[in-house]
Amino acid sequence: MASEVVVVHANETPPPWWDAAVFLAGPLPRAAGVASWNPEAVAHLRERWRHDGRLVVFTPELREGVLADYTGQIEWEHRGLHDADVILFWVPRDLETMPAFTTNIEFGTWYDSGKAVFGAPESAPKNEYLRHLAESRGVPVTDRLDEAAGAALAMIGAGSRREGGERSVPLPVWRTDSFQSWYGAQRAAGNVLEGARLEWTFRVGEHREAVMYWAAHVQVRVAAEDRVKTNEVVISRPDTAQVLLYSPAPDPDDAVVVLVREFRSPASTPDGFVHELPGGSSREEADPAVQALEEVHEETGLALGADRLRPIGSRQVAATMSGHRAHLFAAEITADELAWLRDHRDAPHGAGDSERTWIEIATWREIREGGLADWSTLGMIAQALGSAPGR
C-alpha cells in the first residue's frame, strides 16, 4: 500500500483502520484573524511520513470556521487523545489570543504517558513548567514545529496496522510481546477486541521508552457466548522463567526444595516477604531457558549448565487479572550443591538494592503445611515434582 495521510478534524469520525495516529494538542484560535499552527503541523507530518501505510492526524480544529463552543467536542478530543500513538504538543502561547489554559491541563494529564512530544517557540511565555515536566520524563523537547513533527514520527517508526477496536491500543503497548501474547490468544479463541482504554503503563529504559507493565480496560466480544464483556481490566508484564531446584526423595513430601526469599512491595505475608522459586523476566533475553539459568545464578549463586534444565511447561500465573505466563523448568541438584546452598543461606544475592534474595531450603511438606509460598508457587512445585523422572 502507498503512503497516505488522513486528517480528521474536530467531531469527525476517524477511518476504520490506520497504521499510526498523531493527535495535535495545543492552543487554538478563538477568533478569525488569529493564525493557527495546525495546518503547518499537518504539512510537516505529511512531508515526513514516508512509510507504506496510513497515518491519521487528529486536529481539534473544525474543518471550516473557528471553534466557538469548545465543550461540544470534549468527548471527541478525549477519545482521540487516548487512541493516538503520539500526542504532539505545540504551545505557541499568546496570553491575549491563545492563552493555552486547556493545554496546561491536557499536558499535565499526558506528559507522563510515554507518547508525548513537547514543543514551543522560544518567544512563547509561561512554558517553563511544562518544559521542566517534559524534560523530567524524557519527553522529546524542541522549539521548532518541524522538529516536533519529526520527533513524533520517530517515535512511531513504520507503525502497525490496527482496525476496529485495535485502534484504541497505542503503539507502545501494541508492540509489546505481552500484549501480542494476550491478544493472540483472544483471537485464536474467536474473540474480538471492540475497544480499549489504556489506563496505566510502567516504563523503563534511559528515557523510559520501553513499556514493562501495562493495564487496559478492554471491551471484548466473547464468541462462545455472543456477548461483550466490558467490566474488566487486563494487566500484563513480560513473561517470567522459574526454576524448581530440588533433591528428590522416595516420598515426594520429603523432596527438598530451594526457594528464594525476597522483599516485594505487594506481599501481604506475615513477614512481608515473598517465598518463591528462583526466576524472573528480562527485556533483553528472549529465550526462557537462558533466562532461567541467569536467574538461578543471580538469585542463588548456583551456576548450572543448560543440560541440567528439564522444561515443564508454560501457563498463566493469575489468569483472572494478568496476561503474563511463567515458563517453568526443573533441575535436580546434587548433594554437594545442596550443601553449598545451605552454607550460603545467610548471604544476600540478587542485583543490589533493586533485588535482594536469600536462599531458603525446605521439604515439599514443610512448604505446603507451613504456608511458605503462594498458590501459584505451590502449583508450580506440584507440577514439577509430579512430572519428575520415576514418578
Task: Render pLDDT for 74-106 as a digit per residue (tens, 0 to 9).
Answer: 999 999 999 999 999 999 999 999 999 999 999
Sign of CA dihedral 276, 281, 287, 292: negative
Query: Which class does domain 240-386 fall in?
Result: alpha beta
Q: What pLDDT digit, counting tens, does each position of 223-242 carry?
A: 999 999 999 999 999 999 99
Residues 6+ apart with CB under 8 A from 222: 191, 228, 229
Across 238-259, b (16+ Cβ under 10 Å) vs e yields bbbbbbbbbbbeeebeebbbbb
DSSP conformation letters of 328-356: EEEEEPPHHHHHHHHHTTTS-BSSGGG--
Spatial separation of the C-alpha atoms in residues 160 and 307, rounded to whole Å: 39
* Residues linked to residue 327 through DSSP beta bridges, in sequence order: 241, 314
Confirm whether 3-156 and 240-386 share one CATH topology: no
Q: Mean pLDDT throughout 148-177?
A: 97
- Residue 390: pLDDT above 70? no
**pLDDT score recorded for residue 255:** 97
Average pLDDT value over all residues in the chain: 94
Burial group, residue 98, by CB count within 10 angstroms (0-12, 13-18, 19+): buried
Helix 38-48 / helix 145-156 crossing angle, nearest 10 deg: 50
CB-count exposure of residue 338 (10 Å: 0-12, 13-18, 19+): middle
DSSP per residue, 224-283 = TTTEEEEEEEEEE---EEEEEEEE--SSGGG-EEEEEEEE-TT--STTSEEEE-SEE--S
Write down the domain spans for the chain: 3-156, 163-236, 240-386
3-state secondary structure 121-143: CCCCCCCHHHHHHHHHCCCCEEC
Q: How many beta carbons lie within 10 A of that of residue 353, not counting itself?
A: 6
The pLDDT of residue 30? 79
Cα–Cα distance measured from residue 339 to residue 331, given in angstroms and rounded to the nearest whole number = 16
SS3 305: coil
Adjacent-strand bridge partners of 17: 163
The sign one gets for the Cα dihedral 316, 317, 323, 326 is negative
Number of Cβ within 10 Å of residue 373's Cβ equals 22
349's grid cell: 544475592
Pairing of strands 53-58, 141-142: unpaired
pLDDT band at 67 (very low <50, low <70, confident <90, very high): low
Interior angle at CA 77, CA 84 and CA 168, nearest 5: 35
List the CATH code of the domain at 3-156.
3.40.50.450
Quickly list H helices, the chain: 38-48, 74-83, 101-110, 128-136, 145-156, 171-174, 177-188, 288-300, 335-343, 364-369, 375-386
Give the pLDDT score at 68. 61
- CA–CA separation, 37 vs 125, rounded Å? 16
Which residue is associated with the grid cell 533433591?
247
* Structure confidence by residue, pLDDT tens digits, 250-271: 999 999 999 999 999 999 999 9
Q: What average pLDDT does range 129-138 have in this prediction?
A: 96
